[in-house]
Structure 1
Amino acid sequence: MKTKILNRINHIQSQNQFSGSVLVQEDNEVLTEASFGYANRSEQMENNSLTRYGIASGCKVFTAIAICQLVESGKLSFKTKLVECLNVSFPNFDKDITIHHLLTHTAGIPDYFDEEVMNDFEELWVKNPMYHLRNLEDFLPLFQNQPMKLKVDERFNYNNAGYILLGLVVEQVSQLRFTHYIEENIFKKAGMINSGYFEFDSLPKNTALGYIDLPNGAWKTNIYSLPVKGGSDGGAFVTVNDMVNFWASLLNYQLLSEEYTNKLLTPYVATDEDDSFYGYGVWIDKKNGEIYKYHIMGYDPGVSFHSAYYPKTTIKTVICSNRSEGAYDMMRKIEDEI
């Protein structure tokens, strides 16, 4: 299997010039580990297994785990209403929105970037410079006073603003900055020693710049395309090894008890794709009525990311790319073999 997976990876890399790192592991055995392309094209610094990559929305699962930790400790419940746990005014929001609704993208609230009607993330920063967005409360003016988009619990509607609100709830309940809470209560516990929420204007060493390739063959970095610092809806930086450690810690109940890990991984709502469901911060795919994989993913300008756990085989995959595309094709080819 090792040779077949590596052949698949090399083939797809030659086709789409994949830039990033890939790790496939079964239990403690590494089936494949490979890196391609440059973390810094200008200086021709190559990506490697310790390169830190942005993972965009892939880190919504960290937010969901933080909420589950607070529920498990009795400081919150999934039925707690937003108006009961966050001291922020939302004049047009339904008063019946709960933590569960926010976690499962069923709250019906407006989004600051609505993927159903917008396709250019950079449009957001014309009136709201991205370098001002360093804290979660900085996002509130982008959606706080808008009307509801849907009725509460009407349907699944992927929503970044909902996870901004969950991050604010974490801050209010824990009395810690969101990023500090995640680093202390998830990254440290999971042995994610190289991961963090880094600002674009002060990145640590061995961090990949994200690249946007233009139709004319030119390219640019994504430093003017995203908020200067990530938060509860996306934007953490990880290594492939750290993400394998994350899955192991989660599945061994080091982050949550077995009861609350199962709550996190329950398929609560059907998404827009066949046999695809959403738990708490996690996508869940089924085949023939059985769970085939738990996975997280993220896409931003200059970022593409997929990571999954396949319960029948115990295989974990991590695909981090510092280009806008490439991770999905790589994941699909790997799944052809595993």
Structure 2
Amino acid sequence: GRGAYDRSLFPFNDLTVEQLVPLTIASPDFPPGTDVRYSNAAFILLGRALELIAGRDYYEQMDEYIFQRAGMDRSGFFSVDDTVADKAECLTLGRFHRMDSVVLYEDGVRRSAVYLNGYRGSPAGMSYSSARDLHAFIRATVDHRLLSAP
């Protein structure tokens, strides 16, 4: 299994994908094929693999192959300093690290959670969509506009 890149008390939000790779393989949680566990790092690496195979930026591909095909014009990956109309504000009272049982702060003050996941959304998450766009995504999936029928 892929190691957890955010296991440390200090988040690694400034790392490039290339810098992330050694952190995820340095200490696997278990031998490959013996267990399963969700991993943000695995999705980030998968997104990078997609870029290398296609020779195109991940965000460009998401826009062309998902958002445009599905008719999703209120969806994307915002950067923390972007102004997105009608965006709900993500708040947190603290960040719990399950692996280390660490809460970075627990003073009860609500803080923006946007910075907890890096500068911009990634294959691991932090995208946005309107309810109408989520409906459009479901319709596009059911209508096989995103993937071919089996």
TM-score, normalized by length of structure 2? Answer: 0.79
Flag structure 1 segments of 5+ consecutive residues without an equivalent: 1-107, 260-338
5 Å matches for 1:106-185? 108-113=1-6, 123-125=9-11, 128=12, 130=13, 132=14, 137=17, 140=20, 143-185=23-65
| CA RMSD, Structure 1 to Structure 2 (Å) | 2.4
Query: In structure 2, what is the equivalent of residue 231 of structure 1?
Result: 122
Task: Decide which of 90, 93, 103 is 1:210's aligned counterpart.
Answer: 90
**What are the superposed Cα offsets for residues 119-170 of structure 1, whole Å, 9 maximum, x if unpaired?**
xxxx342xx3x3x35xx62661572451322222212211111111110111
Greater strand share, 1 or 2?
Answer: 1
Contact 1:113 1:160 in 2 (8 A): no
In the alignment, the residues of structure 1 paired with residue 142 and residue 19 of structure 2 have an alpha-carbon distance, to the nearest angstrom, of 33
Q: CA deviation at 1:217?
A: 5.5
1:303 matched to which residue of 2?
none
- Paired amino acid for 1:191: G
Please tell me the residue identity of whatever aligns with 2:61. Y
> What are the ranges of 5 or more consecutive residues in structure 2 without an aligned counterpart?
95-105
Q: Describe how 1:16-95 pairs up with structure 2 within 5 A.
A: none
Number of residue pairs the alignment of both structures matches: 139
In the other structure, the counterpart of 1:241 is 132
Contact 2:75 2:130 in 1 (8 A): yes
User: C-alpha distance in 2, partners of 1:164/1:232?
Assistant: 5
Other structure's SS at 1:253 match: coil
Which amino acid is the alignment partner of residue 88 of structure 2?
A: A
Distance (Å, rounded) in 2 between the aligned partners of 1:204 and 1:257? 32
Higher-Rg member (1/2) = 1
